[in-house]
Each structure stands twice: as structure tokens, then as C-alpha cells.
Structure 1
Amino acid sequence: MSKSYKISTLLSLAMLCFISTAYSQKTLIQGELKKWHKVTLLFHGPQVSEQDAFNPFMNYRLNVNFTHAPSGKKYLVPGHFAADGEAANSSATSGNKWRVYFAPDEEGEWRYEVTFRKGTWVAVSDRDEAGGSGGFMDEEKGTFTVLPTDKTGRDLRAKGRLQYVGEPYLKFGETGEYFLKCGADAPENFLAYAEFDGNFQNDGHKDELVKNWEAHVKHWNEGDPTWQNGKGKGIIGAVNYLAGKGMNVFSFLTNNIEGDDRNVFPYTDYNTYDHFDVSKLDQWEIIFEHADKLGMFLHFKTLEVENQGLLDGGGVGANTKLYYRELISRFGHHLALNWNLGEENGEWMKKHPTPPQFTWQRLSMAAYFHDHDPYKHHIVIHNGNQFYDLLGPESHLTGISYQTHKPDFSTVHKSVLRWRKISQDAGKVWAIAVDEPGDAQHSLLPDSEDPAHDDARKNGLWGALMAGAWGTEWYFGYKHPHSDLTCQDYASRDLFWDQGRHALKFFQELEVPFWEMENHNELISNKDGYCFAKPGSTFVVYLKNGGTSDLELDADGGTYTITWFNPRTGKVESKPKSVEGKGKLSIGLPPVKKERQEDWVALVRKKVP
């Protein structure tokens, strides 16, 4: 067999398997070369260490320009130091591997061109010619071909990138479907995991809060990822559990050095803010990549209130830019995420000496992500201070992560209505999520204390969705077991996750066009209820305390169907009933007589002739 025939055969096999390991002079291209998949460009660069005095994170800048040859679409993607390229398993702190992750959104040929610069603080400079050539892979060029995605189901690579499109709901780039989320906002120290690299587990800083996620080891499945000969089963199992309950989001802080927990940070130690722990961050990436396959949205909380002034006094200075650059480079390729600029941002913390961030600092954070994230992911901020100074088309915020303060969740509905209107009136509609419904002390109680979760379901979950929120994430109050800091078992709220799944099921499986709908409580006579509607077409009537209601239809009238849905069980309790209606229509009573004083949902649709 000739040498050329062997090479041709190998290339054909690679294409058949849709797995690529392509070589150029200095570039190794890895991954499934398919639309929406993570493509990795690995380079052999200078031999450096995490702790080098000539800082490899700050004083080298790896960028790759990707151009889609047929369309001319371009992306400038930042890269990062990768130690030996296998740091998640080797715990390496030094090496000569440098890496770029790219998630192509088009099929066909992509060209890439590398720039690798070297110089003091070059990584946080936007000047093309900052510093000097770093040699090695600088000016390296090449091409690769991207095939269609072959993924299906919940896998995000089947759906495409989830993005803000100037509307109240985020939209997937491949399928065009809109997204509703429900899942866990707690524990905020999700990443304080004992099996990650680093010495945060036993350094005397809140070590009692470090997690092993032991309750979820049983939810790890054969074939799921691990690192270092079996580490990671607990935290992978935790993500599996949430996905298995039908949840599609979880959140986590990436820096809480001055926070309540103090065990989560991307750095090599507590006091150095420009040297990063490569192996720990690669282990984080294993979790997030697995979550993509399960259809999980990643809620990155970049800072918490106690450390909003930790980097550069709250401004977007060198350390802040470097922190954001590393997050974007290492994790920005994920398809469904938001950058949360700060938890309870702007709130004054008496116990911490740094002041709250000012308006210009908050706007500057959003501007940095907008300008440097090649994929333009959703950008939100959490309320400590309110958001009046962040409104309008000049702001790069695309939504808010809202927190309420009542244990019965009674302010959720009106808060969403209020901020949807305020943002729309200001000239830029925000996508609003309620990510901490309830109060700090109690909020979503464990099943052992509140198995029914009536207030959470009625006021929090359905209250948010029926006001036009694109979803909810659930905080665990600090006065209860499995709290926002101590939770190691998501099954402590197992019964509530069922109710969240039922709500998502209602909108998805009954094909309710929620993205075309708005709140119209004025259309129903039941003052304890909510109405979410596309007038003249589709109405969702939520009866918080059962009973019945009149519904104002369009003046032309027509034939409508009424379908009853039980939000407590997730069951459609009636076949669609056809009625003739014009003007005012009584929707009747819920179909289960003994449960007519419980909450119910009526879906009213106009039949198309």
C-alpha cells in the first residue's frame, strides 16, 4: 500500500467518523468538525508556568480570527494558556500548549489566522499591534471544513446558540425555538467541590462549606466524564439529577473570594488576581461540556456582592479585563449561557470596606462583555440596587436577573410586569428572569418542610411565567437545611422540580406560542388569576385559587377550544372542548370536582377556519 493511499484512507475514515485531528505546521485541530460543536485549536508555544514572574496570562495574547469562507462572517476568539494540554488529568502547572475553543455556526469552509503577541499587559490591550510578535504560532493560517450537526433531542448542539434577539425571550440559532428555563439558583458555591484541583479544601477559609456532592454519586452514569481516575462523579451526578428531573439550568459563582463561601475562584491563590489555575479551570470545563449535552443553560455569576470591588475597585481595569477574558476564552463557546455581572450588585455591604459599584462601572462591565465575547451572549445583572441607570439602547445589558424579598413570593408577578414595561418604555426590551424568587431566609423550602410548595408554585413559578419572564431559578434560604451555602443534595427539593417540569411541559408540549404573548390580566374577571395572551388567538388563564372566570374575547368571536391543565400533577385533565364565543366567555369550572378550589390552568385557543 502506497504512502499516499494510506493518508487518503485515514482522511476518509476521519470524515466518516466526523472526528478531526488535523495538522498544520504549528496547529492541531481537535473535535467533531460539525456545526455548533466545540472545535479546539491547540498550539505549541512558549514553555511557561502559571506562576512565572513574566506572567503568561497577562503578558501573552493569543487571538484567532475565524472567517466563514462562503459568507464572510468573522469571529475574533481569544485563546488561553493550557499548560501541557491535559491539565485536568495531569494537574500540570507548566507546559507549552496554548488553546482556542471555537463553536462554528455555519457549515462549510472556515479559515483561521492566528495572532500571538508578547509584551507587558498585552492580554488586556485591544490594540492590534500591542507588544511584539510572540513567535511560535504567530501568523499561522489554515482552514477546516464544518459538517452539519448530527445531534438530536436536548443536546444543545442540536439546537444551536441561544441568544438575545431584541425580544423578551432568548432564541436558539439552529431550530429557531424560544427558550423557557427552570432550575436551581442554589447553591451559589456549586463549584466549591473537593475533587477540583487547588488547596481551597483545607486552607482554613470556610473549609466546612466545601462539597463532595456525595448524594449524587449514584446519578453518575457509565460513560459520563470524570478526571484523574474517577474524580468528579458527585458533581457530574448532580447535573445529571437536575436534567433528569426536567430542569434545564443551574447557576454558580466563579469568584467568591470575599463572599460567604470563599472557596470558588479561578486563580492560583486568594491574593493573586492575574495568575489562573489551569487544571481547575479545565475541570470546570468538563462539567460545563457535559451539561451542554444534557441541554443545560449555564448561569455564570461572575462576582458576588461582597467582592464587587475586589478587582480594580469595581472598575474595568487590568485585572477585571483579564478575568473576563479568561472566562470568555475558556467558556464562551458554550451555547446556552448568560454573563451575570454581579449578584446583588450595587448594594452597600457594611462588613466590606469597598463601596458599591457606580453606574459607569456597571455599564462598563456590560460593555466589555459585549465588545469581547465573540458570540454576544446574554448579559444580565442581579439587583442590589435597582436598574434605572442601566436602561435604554445605549446600555449593553440585554436583561436582568431579578431577586424578590417576600417569603410567599407575592411580589414576583408584579415585579416582572413592572420591569418589562420600564425596559420597553426605555427603548430596549429586556429578557427578564426571576433568579431568586422569595426571601433570603426561607425562599424555596425543602420538601420535608413544605412538600406542596403552593406559594412557590402559584406566586413564584406561574406568577413569573404569566407576567412574561423567560424563566425562574430557585434559591434555598439560609435558615433551612440544604441552604444556598450548604446544599449538597438537589433532591431536597425533589417535589418542586416536578412542578417546574410540569410548567415547562405545559408551554412546550401544548405548543403555546409564549414568545408571541403578553400579560393581559385585564381580560379575566377572576381577580386572583393571571392571563397571558395573544389576543384574538391564544389565552392562558391561570386560576390561582380555582373557581372560574369570564374571559374577554375579540369582538369578531368564533369557535374556541378550552383545555384544562393541572399544574400540580402535569396532567391534561380534559379533552379540548369547543365553544362558540364572542365578547365575554365563561371558561367554566375545572374538570376535577373535588379539586376545584386548587390552582388550574385553562388554555383557550381560537380555531382557525
Structure 2
Amino acid sequence: MNRNVDTKVWECAELVFKAAEGYDNPFLEVELQAEFVGPNGETLMIPGFWDGGSLWKVRFAPVTAGEWHYTTICSDQADAGLHGHTGIVTAAAWQEEELQHNPNRRGFVRIHESGRWFEYGDGTPFYWMGDTLWSAHTLRCDLKKTLPAYLEDRRKKGFNVIQLVVGHPTADQFGEETSSYVRYEPEYFLNEGGAPYLERYSLINPAYFSHLDLRIRLMLSMGFVPCLMAMWGQDLQGIKVEGGKHYLRYLVARYAAFNVMWSPAGEYLFTDDVEGWRELGNEIHRCDPYGHPTSVHSVAPHSGSRHYHAEEWYDFNLIQVGHVLGFKNFMEMLPYLDYQMQPPKPSIMSESWYENHPNCVLDDGIRINDQHIRFATYVPLLQGCIGQTYGAHGIWSLYNGEQKDKWTDQMRPDLWQDDLHLPGSGQMKHVRDLMETVNWWELEPHPEWVSTVAESNVYCAAILREQYIIYCTGGQAPVPVLVMILGAKQGGETYEGKWMNPRTGAWHAVRNEDFQYHGYGSGMMWRTFAPDHEDWILSLKRVKEEN
């Protein structure tokens, strides 16, 4: 029935097969694969998955244009419905206007050969601007109103990555067996298709994943790249490592033909089994024919590099600082430490401070505001991160006011419809706009090249003697900003300064009378004062001399 299929490069083609044999548990008893041979002789072995009843599917995304010939291979070779089927998938290239409409058509996101940043499959640099929607898999994230409204808002604000949980394998309609910050009612873990498992850990529920498919496809169609957390850290206590491998193989078979990134779990150390998580990371790497970037989301304050940086399956670092304003030093330290590690791997501040979240640990009644969010965004970016994930308290939980969500009064979020419009989320667009003014992938952290007075802090990422991006946190009054330009010769180089207001995105030039530029040590010093006592971005760029 699938003999010849037409699609586009990097677009998922779905092949459907019907088993001729009956199985008590097709999830565990049978394996289906399809070998695809491309126009240049390249070969991809694509796993298939059971989709309920006697239906099986193989999802394939061609990586080059032309004809791809396939042959199915079933572990039960006697099953004529699954084994030995052949056909052709013909992939056409996208037109330029189609690429502009949806950047996902440029190919699956991968790590640049330098190890320092992400790029699309066609080599276009990919700037990670993420948001946290842990509850995207649930009923409260409905497909008619909630998810479309959320995604449209985030697209307008420059976001392009959504971090979400695939599901909680320990949960079903009878309750959940692992601890969490909030004791949710069972339906929190369900979607329109029910729970992830029909029989806990032994029989997957395809109906659940068919509704998750719709959510992921909508994200992809709007240009977002989903970063999929397969489970949460506590779930490993129930499913165990071997059960987790079966679960992950199913997820890879179902979603590897989409432009996704992987993490075996969110907050993996809630089950303190470092070796177990290593095995699960390796399992994703072994099964994924496309080699999507894989990491593991950490607890706070921590980076997954602590355990896995040297691992072959571990492609990039996901850092978490947590929702503790007292942990601001970790905003500086963790990205900078990760940047120094070898081999080079990109780092993302994947969970820092959530806007409108109560300040944890100190219990001082303070809620995290947009000024805190700017600090938690620009400091990691200038200390070595190559992207940032925003979060808001009412958004990650999609809190809709239901009293059966057993929050304490102190920790209860505001409604998600209100938190959708918090000022910090709108200010993320200014981060994207700033980075688009420079070759952001070439920036290196250099805190030693910038200084100010004690009441403020400044952070710098730069391309030596070309471009300097400085974040000034502000103080009680306008503070001096001192930029050391090593190697520059007096009278031989000039630099133009511009201030960006990170609250509004507005730019204005530093006037000649507002800065000084003079020799200092083995180079030059460029100094000025911040426009006022608020936080500011200074962009300092070398002026090219005309021939």
C-alpha cells in the first residue's frame, strides 16, 4: 500500500503496514525496521513502531533529494504483512520561499563540527531561544485553543525551541507512584488518549502518543524545534533501566523522523543512578539513525557535564540553576566551566530562574521579575552558553486555576493566560535581535576584558579586536564601563559603541563626547558611562578603515 511515496527533503514520510500475524504484546514481541538506500548509495536503517491493533508504521525523513529505495525487515520473518515489503520514497528539494516560511525545512538541527554551536542540516547557524512547556503532553494543553495561542505568542517573541516532557511512564489513570513537587491528580498526567502505558511498563499506549504527535507536529509546522524530555527523573525508580530502554526505543522510532533533540529525562538526578542514565543515553544514540543532538537535563545547580561530558552519546550541556536568586554565582560559573571543558560542546542555560516564580530556599516572599530574568539570560550567554531557555511559573505548569492541583499558597502560580504576557518573555525578542547583529557563533567569553565599579557587575563575550558585547547589571547610579582591547595600537584602530536597552530593544549610539579611548598596557582602553542606573547592553564594534 506504500509502494511509491512523494515527499520533501527533511519532511517525514509515514509508511503504514498491517501485521498478518497476531501478537499478545506487539510492543515487546516484535521489531520492525526498514532499510533505506539513497540516491548516492547512503543507507539509513529506520526503526518502526506499533501503532495499535495490527498497524505498524515507519517514519522516514530523506536527508537528500532523489529516490530512496526501502525494504522492510521484521523480527518475525513469517509475518508477510511486515517483512520484505519494498518501495520508493522520492524526495524533492524545497524552494527558497518555502525555506523562509519554515526554517525546519533547512534540515535537522545538529552540532557544528567545531563543537561550539548548533546549525541546521544545510549549515545555517541555529540560535537556540527556548521556552519551557513541561506540561505540553497533558490534557490542559489542548490543541484547539491553548497550544496554538501559546505557540503564536512565542513565535512572535523570537522563540524557536520548546522543552517539553514526553510523558510520565509511571503514571496512569489510577494514580502516580513517584514523588513530585506537587501532588497532582491523575488526570494531570494524561492526554486525550489516556496514559503512556496500557499496562505499566509492559504495553505501550499508542493512542496517548497519537495525541502527542499532534502537539509535536504543530510545533514543527510553526518552526519550533522540540527538545524532548523522555520522562522525569523520578520515573526511573519505577520503570527501571531495562524498561526505560524499551520506552526510549519506542520514542526514537516514533519521533526520530522529526526535527527534535533528546534528553532521557528532566532532572535526572532525582533518581541517583548515574550509570543507569548513561545506559539510557547510549540507547538513544544507538537507536537514532539521524543522530539528533542528545543531552540530559540536570538538577539545580548543576550541569550534565559533571557526569557525561566526555561521553560519545552526550552532544551538548543542559545547565540548571534553579529558582533561587541566591544562586546567582552559578549563573556565572557553570557556563564558564562548561565552556572550558574538552572536547568543546555547546551549553544551554536550560532552566534558570522562572519569571513570577517564588524565590526558593530563602522564603523571603520575593517573586522573580523581568530584571532577574535579564540577568539570568545575558550573564550565561556572555559566560559561554550558546543559547538560553526562558521559563515562567504559570507557563511550565499551564496552571489554569484548578484547585485540585495541590499547590501551597506560597508556591501556587498565576494563571498561564496571565503569565504568557509577562515582560521578560517579550524581552527575549531583544536577545535574538542583539545576536543577529553579530556573528554570535564566533563570540567567546572574556570576563577579564571588562570591568566597572564594585556596586555593579559587567560581563563580556567578544571576537578579539572585532566585536565586544558587554552586559552591565546596573547600580545605584550610572557606572563606568571599562573595555580592554588587547593588542590594539593607539591611533591604529577605532571602535564604535552602541547601547541597547534590554527592556525595550531600543538602540542609541554612544556620542563622541561620552567616551574615552586611550592606550593602556599592551593595548587600548575604551571607557564610557552607562546611560543610567538600570542594566544595559554595550555593543562595541571595530570601524573598518576604507581602502
- Which interval holds the TM-score relative to the shorter structure? 0.7 to 0.9
The Cα shift of 1:155 comes to 1.4
| Partner residue, 1:411 | 329
SS at match of 1:433: strand
* Residue identity in the other structure for 1:333: A
Instruction: Give the alignment partner of residue 345 of structure 1, picking from 256, 268, 272.
Output: 268
Partner of 1:105: 63
Of 432, 452, 455, 1:526 maps to 452
Letter in 2 for 1:42: V
Asked whether 1:515 is paired with 2:441, we answer yes
Q: Does 1:320 align with 2:244?
A: yes
Matched, 1:489 2:436: no
2:174 is aligned to none
**Among 534, 542, 546, the residue aligned to 1:606:** 542
Q: How far apart are residue 443 of structure 1 and its match? A: 5.8
Asked if the contact 1:561/1:579 (under 8 Å) is kept, the reply is: no
Distance 1:282 1:311, change over 3 A: same
For residue 306 of structure 1, what is the aligned residue in structure 2?
A: 234
Candidates 201, 211, 216, aligned match of 1:288: 216
Q: Offset of 1:441 from its aligned partner?
A: 5.9
SS in structure 1 at match of 2:283? helix
Partners of 1:232 and 1:283 in 2: CA distance: 12
What is aligned with 1:27? 2
Matched, 1:430 2:345: yes
- Among residues 387, 390, 396, which one is paired with 1:474 in the alignment? 390
Residue 274 to residue 244, structure 1, CA distance change in 2 (3 Å): farther
Cα distance between partner residues in 2 of 1:575 and 1:285: 50
Looking at structure 2, the residues matched to 369 and 146 of structure 1 have their Cα atoms a distance apart, in angstroms, of 26
Q: Does 1:191 align with 2:144?
A: no
Matched, 1:541 2:470: yes
Question: The residue matched to 1:310 in structure 2 has which SS?
Answer: helix
Quote how far apart the aligned CAs of 1:360 are: 2.0
CA contact (8 A) 1:540 1:603 kept: yes
**1:278 is matched with which residue?**
206
2:127 is aligned to: 179
Please list, as runs of the form range in 1=range in 2, the aligned pairs for 1:188-587 lying within 5 A after superposition: 188-193=134-139, 211=140, 232-256=144-168, 257=171, 258=178, 259=180, 260=182, 261=184, 263-264=188-189, 267=195, 269=197, 271-312=199-240, 315=241, 317=242, 319-335=243-259, 337-347=260-270, 356-384=271-299, 387=304, 390-405=307-322, 406-407=324-325, 410-421=328-339, 424=341, 427-438=342-353, 442=358, 453-457=370-374, 459-477=375-393, 489=416, 491-494=418-421, 495-508=423-436, 510=437, 512-526=438-452, 528-545=457-474, 547-557=479-489, 558-574=493-509, 583-587=523-527
> Is the contact between residue 409 and residue 438 of structure 1 (CA under 8 Å) also seen in structure 2?
no
- Separation (CA, whole Å) in 2 of partners of 1:77 and 1:604: 49
Aligned partner of 2:44: which letter? Y
- Pick from 29, 33, 42 the counterpart of residue 59 of structure 1: 29
- Say which SS state the counterpart of residue 58 (structure 1) adopts: helix
What is the CA–CA distance in structure 1 between the aligned matches of 2:148 and 2:123, rounded to whole Å? 27
Aligned to 2:408: none
Distance in 2 between residues matched to 1:28 and 1:321, nearest whole Å:
32
Tell me if 1:146 matches 2:87. Answer: no
| Amino acid paired to 2:248 | Y
Structure 2 SS opposite 1:181: strand
Q: How far, CA to CA, are the matches of 1:169 and 1:443 in structure 2?
A: 32
- What is the CA-CA distance between 1:561 and the residue it aligns to? 2.2
- Distance in 1 (alpha carbons) for counterparts of 2:60 and 2:258: 9
For the structure 1 residues 579 and 35, does the alpha-carbon distance in structure 2 shift closer, same or farther, using more than 3 Å as the test? farther
Contact persistence 1:302–1:342 (CA under 8 A): yes
1:367 deviates by 0.8
What amino acid does structure 1 have at the position aligned with 2:419?
Answer: S
> 2:449 is matched by which residue type in structure 1?
L
Q: What is the distance in 2 between the residues matched to 1:358 and 1:269?
A: 23
The residue identity in structure 1 corresponding to 2:61 is: A
593, 596, 599: which is aligned to 2:532? 596
Identity of aligned residues (%): 16
Corresponding position: 1:168 with 2:116: yes
Query: Match for 1:539: what amino acid?
Result: Y
Instruction: Render the CA deviation track for 1:440-473: whole Å, top value 9, x for unaligned.
Output: 96269xxxx979611111x201112111213222
Count of aligned positions = 491
Aligned AA (1:250): I
Kept in 1, the 8 Å contact 2:450–2:483? The answer is yes
Give yes or no for contact 2:72–2:84 (8 Å, CA) kept in 1.
yes
Two-structure CA RMSD over aligned residues (Å)? 3.2
Amino acid at match of 1:345: Y
Alignment partners' CA distance in 1, 2:280 and 2:368:
41
User: Residue 438 of structure 1: CA displacement?
Assistant: 2.9
Structure 2 distance, partners of 1:152, 1:324, is: 31
| Contact 2:4–2:90 (CA under 8 A) maintained in structure 1 | no
State the match for 1:40 in structure 2. Answer: 14
Question: How far apart, CA to CA, are the structure 2 residues paired with 1:436 and 1:293?
Answer: 25
Cα pair 1:311 1:320 within 8 Å, conserved: yes
Whether the aligned pair in 2 keeps the contact of 1:246 and 1:497 (CA below 8 Å) is: no
Per-residue deviation, 1:372:
0.7
Instruction: Assess if the C-alpha contact under 8 Å between 2:34 and 2:73 holds in 1.
Output: yes
Q: Structure 1 residues 390-399 or 519-528, which shifts more?
A: 390-399
Distance 1:246 1:467 in 2: 22
Q: What SS is found at the alignment partner of 2:8?
A: coil
Name the amino acid aligned to 1:585. M
Secondary structure at the residue paired with 1:57? helix
Post-superposition CA distance 1:381-424 (Å, at most 9, x none): 122385466245344212232221423661343233343145x2
* AA at the equivalent of 1:55: N
State the alpha-carbon separation in 2 of the partners of residues 79 and 531 from structure 1: 48
Given the alignment, which residue of 63, 81, 102 partners 2:50?
81
When normalised by structure 2's length, the TM-score is: 0.81
Letter in 2 for 1:463: V
**What TM-score, normalized by structure 1, do the two folds share?**
0.73
CA distance in 1, matches of 2:46, 2:162: 26
Distance 1:421 1:175 in 2: 22
Alignment partner of 2:62: what SS? coil
Deviation at 1:499, TM superposition (A): 0.8
Distance 1:29 1:576 in 2: 65
Which residue of structure 2 aligns with residue 204 of structure 1?
none
Residues 584, 574 of structure 1: CA spacing in aligned structure 2 closer, same or farther, 3 A cutoff? same
Which amino acid is the alignment partner of residue 170 of structure 1?
A: F
- The aligned residue for residue 89 of structure 1 is none
SS at 2:189 equivalent: coil
**2:102 is the alignment partner of 1:155:** yes
Return 5+ residue gaps in structure 1 as ranges: 1-25, 84-93, 119-131, 194-210, 214-230, 348-355
- CA shift at 1:305, angstroms? 2.4
Change (3 A) 1:98 1:581: farther
Comparing 578-587 and 375-384, the one that deviates more: 578-587
* TM-fit CA distance, 1:327: 0.9
Q: Is the 8 A contact 2:335 2:347 kept in 1?
A: no
The 1:392–1:475 alpha-carbon spacing in structure 2 relative to 1, beyond 3 Å, is: closer
Write the deviation string for residues 202-238 of structure 1: whole angstroms up to 9, x where unpaired.
Answer: xxxxxxxxx265xxxxxxxxxxxxxxxxx63332332
Distance 1:57 1:378, change over 3 A: same
Deviation, structure 1 residue 369: 0.8
Cα deviation, 1:457-511, whole Å, max 9, x if unaligned, reads: 1x20111211121322234459x99669767625414221111111111102x1x
Q: CA deviation at 1:358?
A: 2.6
Q: Whole-Å Cα distance in 1 between the matches of residues 435 and 306 of structure 2?
A: 34
